[in-house]
Structure 1
Amino acid sequence: MNSVRTTFLLLSLLLSAGCSTVYYDTMEKVGVHKRDILVDRVKSARDAQTEAQEQFKSALEQFASVIKVEATDLKSAYEKLNDEFEESQSAADDVSSRIDKVESVADALFEEWQEELDLYQNKNLKAASAKKMRTTKKRYGQMLKSMHQAEKTMQPILDSFRDNVLFLKHNLNAQAIGALRGEFSNLKSDIGKLIKRMNQSIARSNSFIESLQQP
């Protein structure tokens, strides 16, 4: 098992920038099927959302501390808030990237599954496999929709965050802090909604993973 895992990691590094078809075919030859890759990528996307949740919470905490600082500390406050914004942007990009990878392997898996249905000679087995595919696609679609809903919720928060960071950058004074105080409530509410949607997405991911791992 360790050797397979090591091979998987090495091939991920070597082939991630290359053709997906070549990657999947190569993985198949070492015993790692598209279903296995899909499970790993859903887990990765789920974990990225968990990390993004923590980062957005951290950013909100930093924002809350900024609106309480003294005027003499504004430059330092700006730098810390900007760091949090950049880390939040990076976390959001990571979530989007991992969702894209989930879609890539899922598309390949369902295309292969559909093609292999035509190879069946036994009608009962074919019908059972087709039913399983429809159920899996439905669960996958629900999970992916939830992922994208959470993903879309991040961008308005990042836009608002960027606006406030830029305003603070060019207005290092008490007036800027007053403006940020007015934005805090909305930002807090939006991040609360984001966390709720991410929790829903994470729950969907866990349910989908469990369904794929059932015998």
Structure 2
Amino acid sequence: MKSLPLLLTATCLLMCSCQSAYYGAMEKFGVHKRDILVDRVEDAREAQEEAKEQFESAFEEFLAVSEVDVSQLKVTYDRLQAAFDDSESKANAVKSRIEAIEEVSEALFKEWEGELDQYTSKELRAVSAGQLESTQKLSKNLIQAMDSAASKMDPVLNAFRDQVLFLKHNLNAQAIAALNKTSLALRDEVEVLIKQMEASIDEANAFVAQMRSE
């Protein structure tokens, strides 16, 4: 057990080393951390847009169960399972994109703060420090918006999973009635999720626009 902290430390050091090597290699091609950050925010925005569309589509699939004939429940189950799998995959992609943004923003700001001491002009240093603070606030707001939207995905995914499992275990008329009731109850949670994701997408758009204007 004592070796576990050492293993974790070694893993972290290796990851940091790999990240530094990656950023260093990219800079040799003229691609700086700031550029990588903007690209990753754009990737996260696209992932959120795809997830938003998938969750809306999946919810419609679950609502449609009430109109399905009992003889078609097996086919319906397969369709709902696929919709759930796609939703879970899109949700994981969003979370992965957020982690990538946090990683590069941390590296960017650490580098930026260190380089402030290299200025000989107090005026230029003050301007750069102000830009750093502004960019940090933008990044913080963006990540908070994305995390807030991401946190709303899990309850909806859990509800989707419950319905898929229930239908799998109960391919009968009672299952249709039960799923219709729970799907309708889920409507508010889905609507909140969609609004949160739209707000997060807007935040990403604002971040990219601001970064590209500087």
The TM-score normalised by the length of structure 2 is: 0.91
Residue type of the alignment partner of 2:156: I
Q: Tell me how far apart the structure 1 counterparts of residues 66 and 97 of structure 2 sit (CA, whole Å).
A: 34
Residue type of the alignment partner of 1:73: Q
Q: Tell me how far apart the structure 2 counterparts of residues 49 and 177 of structure 1 sit (CA, whole Å).
A: 31
Residue type of the alignment partner of 1:207: A
- The correspondence of residues 4-153 of structure 1 with structure 2, limited to 5 A, is 19-153=18-152
**Deviation at 1:50?**
0.3
SS of 1:121's equivalent in the other structure is coil
Residue type of the alignment partner of 1:116: E
Q: Tell me how far apart the structure 2 counterparts of residues 186 and 149 of structure 1 sit (CA, whole Å).
A: 21
**Deviation at 1:172?**
0.4
The farther-off stretch of 187-196 and 152-161 is 187-196
Q: Tell me how far apart the structure 2 counterparts of residues 38 and 187 of structure 1 sit (CA, whole Å).
A: 35
Residue type of the alignment partner of 1:173: N
**Deviation at 1:151?**
0.3
Residue type of the alignment partner of 1:148: D
**Aligned position for 1:210:** 209
Residues 143-194 of structure 1: per-residue CA shift (max 9 Å, x gap): 1100000000000000111011000000000111111011112222211111
**Deviation at 1:22?**
0.7
Q: Tell me how far apart the structure 2 counterparts of residues 187 and 50 of structure 1 sit (CA, whole Å).
A: 21
Which ranges of structure 1 fall in alignment gaps of 5 or more residues? 1-15
Q: Tell me how far apart the structure 1 counterparts of residues 62 and 181 of structure 2 sit (CA, whole Å).
A: 12
Residue type of the alignment partner of 2:74: K
Residue type of the alignment partner of 1:197: Q
Contact 2:63–2:184 under 8 Å retained in 1:
no
Q: Tell me how far apart the structure 1 counterparts of residues 209 and 129 of structure 2 sit (CA, whole Å).
A: 19
**Aligned position for 1:10:** none
Residues 74-121 of structure 1: per-residue CA shift (max 9 Å, x gap): 100000000000000000000000111111110000000000001111
Residue type of the alignment partner of 1:42: V
The farther-off stretch of 179-188 and 101-110 is 179-188
SS of 2:43's equivalent in the other structure is helix
SS of 2:197's equivalent in the other structure is helix
Q: Tell me how far apart the structure 2 counterparts of residues 48 and 187 of structure 1 sit (CA, whole Å).
A: 23
1:177 aligns with 2:151: no
Q: Tell me how far apart the structure 2 counterparts of residues 89 and 63 of structure 1 sit (CA, whole Å).
A: 15
Residue type of the alignment partner of 1:59: A
What CA RMSD, in Å, does the superposition of the two structures yield over aligned residues?
Answer: 1.2
Contact 2:65–2:180 under 8 Å retained in 1:
no
